[in-house]
Structure 1
């Protein structure tokens, strides 16, 4: 993201004159308090994206600026102003598109050449670029002698294009003036719409951002004109019940007051536009009747982020309200594909990229609620909000050890290894679980690699098995902590820790702190690891009872092998028929389902047709070809309903897969009973 002219001017003023007050800034640049507040927020978002401390403002209107901000700004190249005498190609393309969206007369090449002051050949080239721009909206530029140049396509898509183009043009120097000229919009129309929007603000008890206040009048005027010309939005996927009970739907009456009859679909579209508008301040955001599950989803997202980033975010209620302020309009933007275009700089700081990665991994609750992938620009805003909050409380993920896990043994084993290591090292940030090929192309920075195989890397590498006994976990933790920090846990003493703490903070209850530290340092490490195994975990022979074991001499194809091996789970109702195809598809995407020589574990996601946890086993005397490199004799289908119930049995299966003797016993077995006895020998807690 980049700073607008106004925001850059304010930042330059703060850097050159840090003692200036808010009131002086407002008077000097003819800004309202609200405009200055909006610019101040944008400047801080820009600083967060560059991994710099935010500028704080005191109650007296003074500013607190970190020295690193002065250093960075002083060393930056001058930002070229947006206003230039001549428009470049991209800018011309937006103006041509605006003319197509807003013109009330037939458009010819002469109209474009006259308005943009370039040759016909240049306009013809620009029209091709304009078509490239609108391809994403499913629209077409068509020319006829009778009607000139026209936009063709669904009106809903035209509206999305109109909103985006208006936003882009207003970022240019004299953008508002140029739009008024192109679309023949007079100041009285703008003032009238502004008054209506102010009534909406009062009715909803909120304040839209300056950015939205700048764009909405133009968008609403142009939409009303299109309605008058008969270009109405036809039926689309907006649910009347979802929007009609919102305060925003009632507020559209203010906008459409004294206007001819407006169809219900247009009222819904206008409501949607209000719902998707970012707000600077709101008094009713905690009223979640319209989206009752939104705040819990945001709370879950924050908790998952805290766990991934090994950070506790302070003042949670304030942070949740701030996130809600952005996520509520984003919910409607994402759900109805109205997310605006926002270009993100490629030069974002390394820490921001890592933070963005962790935020993205934490947004599953939001994705589930909305029912769609969350676009990168919406995720970037969420990252900025959380990053700014961390900076405010003095946290940084740069200070933490970042680890990745490399496992070539498929999704289930990889996730198991990832989760086990994350539990073993709760103070580390675990970024990703990767295959060897993904590791070779990995772009994020990390400090430690845990791998099931040897790798070439200049980072600290710890080669470990996918399945670790409690003793092996204990030794691995000791080894890693000694390698990274140069100490063993037993070398830490409470008095020494208390001395360090006293040097950096105030201790309110030294006796209680010493007791808690003593309890933590001298905890039973092995016992704390063992408590992760729940009493209710199922053993391998329980998840694969004798009735779930099939024996065949041979089979013609891998797909047929999956269909045969899954039959017991289908017959018992533990899975749906769709799970079979999902496993075949997953195999194509994830060739790393090979657990060991001659043994594979096909599986798919729980939501693709699993009703109840279960496993089934197919033994082939003559193996089936999985690929050029692998022939499989033992196929064990995994149907998991969550990430927990099958894990204990899977760990037992991993041990079995590592034994050539017991694999051969299963391959050469003459009965189901013999195979089940082998499974039972590994089904011991």
Structure 2
């Protein structure tokens, strides 16, 4: 897989040009040696496909006059005809295609994108509709408008965010997600990623790099929809988000990205950021979650007879992970995980104990705690004792 920086390279303005390796690396924002290695990988792919290659001439790079592949194909060095999506991936991609609202979508659009038969698409749409109805979302078709999503905007966006997270968990899903961004009038993934990362850094928020990528992919898809749909928050949701440091980061992002400058979008972006940042004890608006972390540790000690050696360190460790978990659970975001079933089988009693210890969080969110959080807390407990 190519580095995301190389998306800048595959733009028509560069095609046919000759430029030094160092200068091109500077423009793209990547180490020259890394760029050299990645271009060699691209050349192997182009050679196999019988296409003109990049040429290295006296320290310069001569770009082909034309490259007949999409960014998704180049990023994964895999042509669209070599990608096979699972049934669930097809349904997720159909949903996200409708989420974009870039054109009047028909069955043909889905066939062309997913490279499957009309009957397969019709079967996928039927199953997708049944699943969406359970979540109060409708996939509607009208002759003049094509396929589109209907329902409250916040649940639709949360559903789409969860799908993005799931698709990124497989190569084929990631390929499809990348290809979908190219259906937009303008694919600003790199720009959105840069602005989001900068806003988070300026507010001194700690985010796992892979989660920045995840949110960046999502807001790129959202950019195709945001001008036409307003998101609404309850009074309680607004009070939860308005005082957070992440809201300042969201406002800084919007200041650099006018496409997101609509009512309540700063609040929505705040909810997104809070699902991927660690807790900060400097943010007084999160004190209630620090207290919740304290209660969880007390319950773990009470029910398991474990005495943590570094109590303050353990408190902070639980708090750091509790903050994004709280906001994911509260708003209905989730993350895929492949280890939960293993933990439940191998350490079932301790797993149940951890679930009991997380009752304070369950009380705060007024929702059932997902097993993935029990797993993470369980491992935190073992690693800090």
Deviation at 1:351, TM superposition (A): 4.2
Query: Does structure 1 conserve the Cα–Cα contact (< 8 Å) formed by 2:137 and 2:149?
Result: yes
SS in 2 for 1:306: helix
Correspondence for 1:118: 116
Correspondence for 2:287: 292
Deviation at 1:209, TM superposition (A): 1.3
2:93 to 68, 92, 95: 95
Deviation at 1:371, TM superposition (A): 3.7
Q: Residues 239 and 95 of structure 1: is their aligned pair in 2 closer, same or farther, counting only changes over 3 Å?
A: closer
SS in 2 for 1:207: coil
Query: Does structure 2 conserve the Cα–Cα contact (< 8 Å) formed by 1:293 and 1:369?
Result: no
SS in 1 for 2:294: helix
Correspondence for 1:326: 321
Correspondence for 2:169: 171
Correspondence for 2:255: 257
SS in 2 for 1:339: coil
Deviation at 1:177, TM superposition (A): 4.1
Correspondence for 1:189: 188
Considering Cα pairs closer than 8 Å and 6+ residues apart, tell me whether 1 or 2 has the greater RCO: 2
Query: Does structure 1 conserve the Cα–Cα contact (< 8 Å) formed by 2:340 and 2:371?
Result: no
Unaligned segments of structure 2, at least 5 residues: 1-30, 35-79
In structure 1, what is the Cα distance between the partners aligned to 2:325 and 2:378?
A: 14
Q: Residues 152 and 377 of structure 1: is their aligned pair in 2 closer, same or farther, counting only changes over 3 Å?
A: same
Correspondence for 1:270: 269
Correspondence for 1:609: none
Q: Residues 349 and 161 of structure 1: is their aligned pair in 2 closer, same or farther, counting only changes over 3 Å?
A: closer
Q: Residues 165 and 368 of structure 1: is their aligned pair in 2 closer, same or farther, counting only changes over 3 Å?
A: closer
Deviation at 1:234, TM superposition (A): 2.7
Kindly provide the CA deviation profile for residues 143-171 of structure 1, in whole angstroms up to 9, marking residues without a partner as x.
22222222111111110111011112222
Kindly provide the CA deviation profile for residues 36-82 of structure 1, in whole angstroms up to 9, marking residues without a partner as x.
xxxxxxxxxxxxxxxxxxxxxxxxxxxxxxxxxxxxxxxxxxxxxxx
Query: Does structure 1 conserve the Cα–Cα contact (< 8 Å) formed by 2:250 and 2:270?
Result: yes
SS in 2 for 1:277: coil
Correspondence for 2:242: 244
- Which is further off, 169-178 or 112-121? 169-178
- Residue-pair matches, total: 306
In structure 2, what is the Cα distance between the partners aligned to 1:114 and 1:224?
A: 23
Correspondence for 1:595: none
Deviation at 1:181, TM superposition (A): 2.2
Q: TM-score, normalised by structure 2?
A: 0.72
SS in 2 for 1:287: coil
Q: Residues 171 and 369 of structure 1: is their aligned pair in 2 closer, same or farther, counting only changes over 3 Å?
A: closer
1:373 to 358, 368, 374: 368
In structure 1, what is the Cα distance between the partners aligned to 2:260 and 2:177?
A: 27
Q: Residues 183 and 375 of structure 1: is their aligned pair in 2 closer, same or farther, counting only changes over 3 Å?
A: same
Query: Does structure 2 conserve the Cα–Cα contact (< 8 Å) formed by 1:142 and 1:152?
Result: yes
1:149 to 137, 147, 150: 147
- Which is further off, 124-133 or 153-162? 124-133
In structure 2, what is the Cα distance between the partners aligned to 1:328 and 1:310?
A: 25
Kindly provide the CA deviation profile for residues 559-600 of structure 1, in whole angstroms up to 9, marking residues without a partner as x.
xxxxxxxxxxxxxxxxxxxxxxxxxxxxxxxxxxxxxxxxxx
In structure 2, what is the Cα distance between the partners aligned to 1:240 and 1:350?
A: 40
In structure 1, what is the Cα distance between the partners aligned to 2:169 and 2:210?
A: 10
In structure 1, what is the Cα distance between the partners aligned to 2:233 and 2:187?
A: 33
Q: Residues 186 and 202 of structure 1: is their aligned pair in 2 closer, same or farther, counting only changes over 3 Å?
A: farther
Deviation at 1:174, TM superposition (A): 5.2
Higher-Rg member (1/2): 1
Deviation at 1:373, TM superposition (A): 3.2
In structure 2, what is the Cα distance between the partners aligned to 1:335 and 1:261?
A: 23
Aligned pairs for 1:575-654 (under 5 A) are none
In structure 2, what is the Cα distance between the partners aligned to 1:87 and 1:365?
A: 41
Kindly provide the CA deviation profile for residues 299-358 of structure 1, in whole angstroms up to 9, marking residues without a partner as x.
221121122112212212222211111101222222233334546553436442221100
Q: Residues 187 and 114 of structure 1: is their aligned pair in 2 closer, same or farther, counting only changes over 3 Å?
A: closer
Q: Residues 344 and 221 of structure 1: is their aligned pair in 2 closer, same or farther, counting only changes over 3 Å?
A: same
Deviation at 1:203, TM superposition (A): 1.8
Query: Does structure 2 conserve the Cα–Cα contact (< 8 Å) formed by 1:142 and 1:149?
Result: yes
In structure 2, what is the Cα distance between the partners aligned to 1:202 and 1:307?
A: 39
In structure 1, what is the Cα distance between the partners aligned to 2:123 and 2:335?
A: 26
Deviation at 1:233, TM superposition (A): 0.7
Correspondence for 1:105: 103
Unaligned segments of structure 1, at least 5 residues: 1-26, 31-82, 391-685
Q: Residues 224 and 87 of structure 1: is their aligned pair in 2 closer, same or farther, counting only changes over 3 Å?
A: closer
Kindly provide the CA deviation profile for residues 243-280 of structure 1, in whole angstroms up to 9, marking residues without a partner as x.
2221111111221114168344221111111112244x
Q: CA RMSD in A?
A: 2.8
In structure 2, what is the Cα distance between the partners aligned to 1:206 and 1:291?
A: 13
Q: Residues 368 and 112 of structure 1: is their aligned pair in 2 closer, same or farther, counting only changes over 3 Å?
A: closer
In structure 2, what is the Cα distance between the partners aligned to 1:341 and 1:126?
A: 22
Query: Does structure 2 conserve the Cα–Cα contact (< 8 Å) formed by 1:305 and 1:359?
Result: yes
In structure 1, what is the Cα distance between the partners aligned to 2:262 and 2:100?
A: 21
Correspondence for 1:360: 355
In structure 1, what is the Cα distance between the partners aligned to 2:373 and 2:181?
A: 30
Correspondence for 1:207: 206
Q: Residues 163 and 354 of structure 1: is their aligned pair in 2 closer, same or farther, counting only changes over 3 Å?
A: same
Kindly provide the CA deviation profile for residues 210-254 of structure 1, in whole angstroms up to 9, marking residues without a partner as x.
3312211121222233222x2111343554333222111111122
Q: TM-score, normalised by structure 1?
A: 0.42
Q: Residues 111 and 328 of structure 1: is their aligned pair in 2 closer, same or farther, counting only changes over 3 Å?
A: same
